[in-house]
Structure 1
Amino acid sequence: MDLILSESEKRFIVDGVKDNCRVDGRECFDYRCIDVESDVISSCAGSGHIRLGNCEIMVGVKCEFSEPSLDESDVGKLEFFVDVSPNASPLFDRKKDSISNNLIAALSHSITPCIDLHSLCVEKGKYVWTVFIDILVLELGSRPNLLDACAIAVKAALYNTKIPKVTIDCETNEPTVSENEIIRIDVSRVPLFITVTRIGNQYVVDATQEEEASSISSVLFAITPDGEITHMKKVKYGSLCPEPLKDVFHKVKDLAIDMHRNLMNALIEESKVRKSTNKISFLF
């Protein structure tokens, strides 16, 4: 079941959004504090952990040596898997499968074309890397910011993914794994998601559970670091107010560019100052 609010509670939220002042003090296009960590799971080639409001996501990346597909013999593969913890939220217990399928579809459609899959080819027609991206939803506050948080965690995990360099012996035709050399995945084109929720005739980002219960519909955008919208999808059955939506396009582009820049700066800085810390091995 979804969170149920009284009409007076909904009116209070709608009126606040109309005046650009939300219940928690944020303006309409403000995110809550985003805590991101990378390289936190010892058993993975790359990993990321994020907390955004009441939403907590863990991402682990593993790489497997495999044969390429017959129609694309020189490209690697990206595979997404999503698991929603039973303790994530009692409100969405019966919708876990639907949530997982929607996340996989959106992430696969938006992120896979932005990765250079040719860089994952070891030997054309013989060996490629298959990259498995496992997403674990530890806590789920509201659905509108779930995809936003997942995309950030996935990009952080892919950024610090280290794949060993493999060469093919000319005589034996057997692969040899280097112990010192690695290859990295280029995430410079990987998009982030921004989900915009309609409340009254206005739009907000990073909606809370109470705001979601007061909303009419949502629309999500996948936006690259240079502001290109690569994916857009309407969520829920309500209508979208067209006039404010025109301004939303410009706002989400600027917001996404800032988020990309801040995320990459944080990841680069983290990689510079990272010391020997204890990593965890949890469900991956």
Structure 2
Amino acid sequence: MPAPLISPAEKKYVELGIEQDCRADGRARLEYRHVVMETGLLSQASGSARCRLGDSDVLVGVKVEIGEVEQNKPNQGRVVCNVECSPSASQQFEGRGADEINNTLTLAIDRLLNGPQSGLDLENLCIIPNQQCWVIYIDAMVMDAAGNLLDCIVMTTRAALYNTRIPKTEIQDLGDGDFEFEVVDDVEDAEPIKGWENLPISVTLYKIAERYIIDPTVLEELCSSVTLTVGVNKDGLVCGIQKGATGSIDPSLLTEMIQTATTLAKPLIEQLDNKLLEEDKSVQEKRRQGQHVEKLGFFAAVI
């Protein structure tokens, strides 16, 4: 399937609107579309979340399983990421059309979540050093592609990891350096992933003509000459930067774009975290009172 095209007239229309800080859908240059986030949707997963950012729709499932530690990281657990774009999400994804974007998005998520910049306590996932650890498998499915997929996937993954619970293990020392462990099946003893609150989100800025925007539609993405993705955590610290497309960014504009990303990310993380924690408290209170609890979900209008 060939890449979608945009006519010169359409491109000029988009550029003029962005120049005047009034995009085609009425938003300003640095304004997000409406966000709807739901967690706890997949009963067979260790954690899950679904995010609808405008018309983009992403579902993330997390599964934790016991595996072997990596030789170069004998005291740490592992995170394995995979992103799949459903053929029904866009005509571009039919057949093998999604292979390239699947690989690109998977690598981007993997770079953000593996390593010290992720904030995850990977050492806490180690069960027996040099032998066994918890492996976190993150599978993201893009069900509808309407722009800004990477940011939407990262946002959803963060919520899914918050929703994830890891079974408790009891370790017994047999002597002579031998250990054995038992997984406790009691759901109430399962623990959240340590360090989830330090996970960064990504803010991707799209340069169009002489301006830049966030959270573009598909039409706006076609007008962009270069992108800059900035990973930012709750403290406003930059955890990673990646440039995309073939255009260039002036050094002075680069500094401005990074600052803009950090300014936008911090309040966004606060809003999402507050909603997650509020809903979690509500569910726990209902369970305490013996009430029936349906799936955990919330609506968040993000500015």
TM-score by length of 2: 0.86
The aligned counterpart of 1:97 is 99
* 1:232-258 C-alpha deviation (Å, 9 max, x unpaired): 111111223555443222221110001
Question: CA–CA distance in 1 between the matches of 2:144 and 2:55?
Answer: 7
Q: 1:194 and 2:196 equivalent? A: no
How big is the shift at 1:170?
3.5
Matching of residues 120-131 of structure 1 within 5 Å: 120-131=125-136
2:170/2:182 contact within 8 Å kept? yes
1:127/1:242 CA distance change after superposition, 3 Å:
closer
* 1:187-227 C-alpha deviation (Å, 9 max, x unpaired): 12211011111111000001111111222221111111111
Q: Secondary structure at the match of 1:238?
A: coil
Matching of residues 53-92 of structure 1 within 5 Å: 53-92=54-93
Question: Which of 221, 224, 235 does residue 244 from structure 2 map onto?
Answer: 235
For structure 1, which segment, 194-203 or 215-224, has the greater mean C-alpha deviation from structure 2 after superposition?
Answer: 215-224
The aligned counterpart of 1:34 is 35
Matching of residues 41-190 of structure 1 within 5 Å: 41-93=42-94, 94-113=96-115, 114=118, 115-142=120-147, 145-171=148-174, 173-178=179-184, 179=186, 180-185=188-193, 186-190=195-199
The aligned counterpart of 1:282 is none
The aligned counterpart of 1:223 is 232
For structure 1, which segment, 100-109 or 153-162, has the greater mean C-alpha deviation from structure 2 after superposition?
Answer: 100-109
Q: Secondary structure at the match of 2:111?
A: helix
Q: Using the aligned pairs only, state the percent identity.
A: 31
1:32/1:52 contact within 8 Å kept? yes
TM-score by length of 1: 0.92
Q: Secondary structure at the match of 2:280?
A: helix
Q: Secondary structure at the match of 1:225?
A: coil
Question: CA–CA distance in 2 between the matches of 1:15 and 1:95?
Answer: 32
1:95/1:230 CA distance change after superposition, 3 Å:
farther
Number of residue pairs matched by the alignment? 277
Task: Give the RMSD, CA atoms, in angstroms.
Answer: 1.8
Q: Which runs of 5+ in 2 are unaligned?
A: 284-291, 297-303
1:69/1:6 CA distance change after superposition, 3 Å:
closer
Q: Secondary structure at the match of 1:69?
A: coil
Question: CA–CA distance in 2 between the matches of 1:74 and 1:278?
Answer: 35
For structure 1, which segment, 95-104 or 11-20, has the greater mean C-alpha deviation from structure 2 after superposition?
Answer: 95-104
* 1:41-68 C-alpha deviation (Å, 9 max, x unpaired): 1001111100012211111111111221
1:203/1:244 contact within 8 Å kept? no
Q: Secondary structure at the match of 2:114?
A: helix
For structure 1, which segment, 149-158 or 214-223, has the greater mean C-alpha deviation from structure 2 after superposition?
Answer: 214-223
**Residue type matched to 1:52 in 2?**
L
Question: CA–CA distance in 2 between the matches of 1:101 and 1:214?
Answer: 23
**Residue type matched to 1:260 in 2?**
I
The aligned counterpart of 1:16 is 17
Question: CA–CA distance in 2 between the matches of 1:168 and 1:126?
Answer: 13
The aligned counterpart of 1:207 is 216
How big is the shift at 1:273?
2.3
